[in-house]
Chains A and B, each alone.
Chain A
Amino acid sequence: MDNLISVSSTMLYTAFILYLIATCFFGATIKEKKDKGKKGIAGKIAITLTIIGFLAQIVYFITRWIASGHAPVSNLFEFMTFFGMGLVFAFIIIYFIYRLSVLGLFALPIALIVIAYASMFPTEISPLVPSLQSHWLYIHVTTVSLGEAILSISFVAGLIYLIRQIDQSVKSKRTTWLEVILFSLFIFIGFSVISATFNIADYHAQFEYEERGSTLTTDYQLPAIAGPNDGKLLTENAMEPLFEVPSWMHGANAPRKFNTLIWSILAGFVLYVLARLLFRKRIGAAIQPLLLKVKPDLLDEVSYRAVAIGFPVFTLGGLIFASIWAQIAWDRFWGWDPKEVWALVTWFFYAAFLHLRLSRGWHGEKSAWLAAGGFAIIMFNLIAVNLILAGLHSYA
């Protein structure tokens, strides 16, 4: 058992490293310019490494499945990791349709960020509560995250489009929004860096606080900037909170999650500022020159195509399979639980996207902004709904 688990985590680690190296090779494809003969070598190595990495991650998935006795998609760590795997898979599909190397240069880092983010959540194998003991759990969760992963490729292509196309010579609303998107990616990196740092330092701070008449304890793994409302620090030598969260912040471990959010933003901000200092220009402006060879209309098409491919998959997994399972487990196929509603919101959003694409004037840049909006909704559903609005689906 322990053996399998260690094989499993080694494989995940291997996949991570391979994706990282593959990213570098995808980067190298940009540099290979005129030399027609050589062109493609870096690309071939890159996609091969990606595929090997993906296979390693499949091994992770299977061994963990065997070790836990159920498909590893049942807590936030497992689920986000699977989503990262889905991203790589979706990228591989789209790559073989369009042979667009630059897509890998952006898709893989995003998958890496997602996997690193996932690894910061508890990774123990957890037992399944009765409602989750159903084959529909696997069928539903795997299909939704695959659908969402394919839809996310639309964002990847859209993001490249925006960086490529937006005029960086003057500061404008568009350059600012693009920086906002890039900054939000830094927040994820910030979260992983800061969590890893304090994990290594083995930092713990226990708080005791009252909620609705019962006394709860919560264990902060990051120094408390925001402590629980009326909380008492139990651990010695731990930092006293700088302020307390307002009393309306209820929910399981809400103060701790809020504290983590503050840390992530701070760390992301520091990283972002460092990057700005390094490049001495906007991040978008720094990347733009690398993308001049890429054809914008192809990016636009990839972005749209990913939605066209992902939408049916998402509908099937996120609405239809979800309903079937809910019908069997909770006696109603639709219950307006926050997670369900956000699946509906995602679906409405992409339906609107597809209809807008029918008319003129919504191709190109506007469409790319929409793709970013769609990704924001997906991430919100994956992360925020679990952490903030937690209903029946709360994992973490």
Chain B
Amino acid sequence: MNKIKCDCGHVNPEGTVLCEACGKPIEENQHIDGNDKRTLLNMRYDGSARRSQTYNKSIVDKIWSFFSSVKVGVWLIVIALLASAIGTIFPQEMYIPANAVSRDPAVYYEDTYGIFGQIYYQLGFHNLYSSWWYMILIALIGISLVICSIDRFVPLYKALKRQKAKRHETFLNRQRLYSETENVTAEEKDKIVHALKKQRYNVRNENGHILAEKGRFSRWGPYVNHIGLIVILIAAILRMTPFMYLDDYVWVREGERTVIPSTDGEYYIENKDFILETYDKNNDRFKEAIEQEGMVAKNFQTNAIIYKEIAPSVAGAEPELKKIAEEKIKMNHPLKFDGYTLYQAGYQLNEFTSMTFKVHETDDPDEKALGTFTIDLNAPKPEYKLDNGFRVVVDQYYPDYSLENGEPRSESKYPKNPAFVFFVYPPNSEQAEVSFVGIGRNIDATGENQYKLGVQDFELRDVSGLTVRKDYTLPFFIVGAIIFMLGVIQGMYWQHRRIWIHPKGNGLLVAAHTNKNWYGVKKDIEKVISGTNVEMVKDQQELDE
């Protein structure tokens, strides 16, 4: 390495722009920070030697320089910004509404938004945030962040550590805040030093050369916050692994107990009751709003019991379970147990559990029951024998009946809209009558049936939908967020201020620098020099176009 020795005797690393000790501009490196074209010095990293600005030969140097450029970083951020915004033009695939024409994205976007929707879909923007290029973009920001920080942190740290109170004159008169005073007495100087200390500046005095400094630690703020961001990005990567993150969903019917998925059969949930409450429309407070907007839900709640399997179930036998929690799971009040969290996420009201049918004579106006039978809709039997000799055979069962192109079918396997095709055998007869029965329908296939079936009674129950989560990455996100916040606060709410006082002849040079809040330093200086003959510093800033 070609070290550079400054007139003051300090040996600087190659690429240094301003001597680390005395700040004198190092002639041949002035182009690096653009000082050659300006009167003021660029103080960004105190003119320290940064790898990215120093070496530019090998491919590694070039990549390093590329990623450590703030310009590149800003471009990456701006591109990520635009990409993110584009993703909100139309809903993302997961937000296609449940009542859409079709939830198939290939149909939905074109059908709903026309040609633009189709283009949007074909470009893959309907899944933008999980697309490979979006993730690469975010990863590039991460890489840039790391390289950028390393590139600057070490040199800046060294430069601030090695700085001397005595600075070269050119360094001082090329600061933004600067003044020269011809005659200053020793008392006045003492007064200034005293005032600086009173303002809680750290004052260093080297042979009458004074450096008053405060808030240096705020310079590390950006590096701290970048570390926080990196922790968050790592957490996001961890979250893509199944060990750290689990996401499942369980539907559980009232009165039923079912195994919680993704727990290796270890945990069971029982739904004692699902509760949906709405606001009372006579409520004084909300009367008007409810009149305008209609019913508003107040509470979704599942009263649940969680069981843990204590002995592994032997094939065929019921597992041996122990109750470990009984809770009301509500929105905003998830249930936690053994690292899992259950969230109230969905519900289905009024699913049928059982239906009771009666048989009566077709032409009986009173529809007097000749016999009844009850079907458990979750386990219909193939055949029901009635007390009075009737026999009913279940030919077809549609738990969730619908008619598609004239064909009856079941939309789902859940008894939301049950319908049956029955063969009814009257007592002592081998001749069956065919009957189709559903909610509000009763169709006699031939029109000649002597007996008719009617729904006499039914039982309903609700179904709760719960998200099952296990997320070991949360602590990482939390730690990352805390580090980030501490970093930004450190960097934003404190400022690094330095004031140099340089004896010259009978007088003084005063110069000052801060990384932000120039108004604040100026006020500090005003206070410090008040009652002395020292000239107020002039702001030499060239407001850029």
Question: Which residues of A line the B interface, CB within 8 A?
Answer: 1, 67-69, 97-98, 122, 124-127, 129-131, 133-134, 212, 248, 250, 296-298, 300-301, 304-305, 308-309, 311-312, 315-316, 319-320, 323, 327-331, 333, 336-338, 341-342, 344-345, 348-349, 351-352, 355-356, 358-366, 385, 389, 391
Q: List 29 A-B contacts (CB under 8 A).
A: A124-B289, A126-B286, A126-B289, A126-B296, A127-B279, A127-B290, A127-B296, A130-B299, A130-B330, A131-B332, A300-B543, A301-B518, A308-B516, A311-B492, A315-B485, A316-B485, A329-B331, A331-B334, A333-B474, A333-B477, A342-B88, A344-B84, A355-B77, A356-B74, A360-B34, A360-B544, A362-B544, A365-B545, A366-B544
Residue positions of B touching A, CB distance < 8 A: 34, 42, 44, 70-71, 73-74, 77-78, 80-81, 84-85, 87-88, 91-92, 94-95, 99-101, 112-114, 129, 279, 283-286, 288-290, 292-293, 296-300, 330-332, 334, 341, 343, 345, 467, 469, 474, 477, 481, 484-485, 488-489, 492-493, 516-519, 539, 541, 543-545
Q: Which residue of A lies closest to B277 (CB)?
A: A130
Set of chain B residues within 8 Å of A248, measured between Cβ atoms? 112-114
Whole-angstrom CA separation of A298 from B279 in the bound complex: 53
Assess whether B519 is in contact with A298, with CB atoms less than 8 Å apart.
yes
Q: What are the residues of chain B within 8 A of A301 when measuring CB–CB?
A: 517-519
Q: Which of A97, A305, A336, A389 contacts B516, CB < 8 Å?
A: A305
Inter-chain contact A348/B77, CB cutoff 8 Å: yes
A130:B87 contact, CB within 8 angstroms:
no
- Contact indicator B286/A320 (Cβ below 8 Å): no
Q: Say which residue of B292, B341, B541 sits within 8 Å of A122 (CB atoms).
A: B292
| Other A-B pairs, 19, CB within 8 Å; known A1-B284, A124-B288, A308-B516 | A122-B292, A125-B285, A125-B286, A126-B296, A129-B297, A130-B299, A130-B300, A133-B332, A297-B543, A304-B516, A312-B492, A312-B493, A319-B481, A336-B92, A341-B85, A348-B84, A355-B77, A356-B74, A391-B95
**Which A residues lie within 8 Å of B88 (CB)?**
338, 341-342, 385, 389
A355 and B543 contact, CB distance less than 8 A: no
Interface residue from A316, A338, A363, A391 paired with B544 (Cβ < 8 Å)? A363
A297 CA to B541 CA, complexed, in Å:
9
Among A305, A311, A364, the residue within 8 A (CB) of B545 is: A364
| Known contacts A67-B285, A312-B493, A337 near B74 by CB under 8 Å | no
Give the distance to chain A from B245, nearest Cβ to Cβ, in Å.
11
Tell whether, in the assembled complex, residue A297 and residue B539 are in contact, meaning their CB atoms are under 8 Å apart. Answer: yes
Residue of B nearest to A351 (CB): B77
Cβ contact within 8 Å between A331 and B343: yes
Among B70, B88, B99, B292, the most chain A Cβ lie within 10 Å of the Cβ of B88
- Complex: how many Å from CA A385 to CA B87? 13
Which residues does chain A contribute within 8 Å of B288, judged by CB atoms?
A: 124-125
Q: 9 closest pairs, A vs B, by CB?
A: A331-B343, A126-B289, A130-B331, A348-B81, A124-B289, A124-B288, A338-B88, A134-B332, A127-B286
In angstroms, Cα B292 to Cα A259, docked, is 20
A389 to B44, CA, bound (A): 41
Are A312's CB and B84's CB within 8 A?
no
**Residue numbers in B under 8 Å from A98 (CB-CB):** 519
Establish whether residues B481 and A320, one from each chain, have CB atoms under 8 Å apart when the complex forms: yes
Closest CB-CB distance, A213 to chain B, in whole Å? 9
A130–B297 CB distance below 8 A: yes
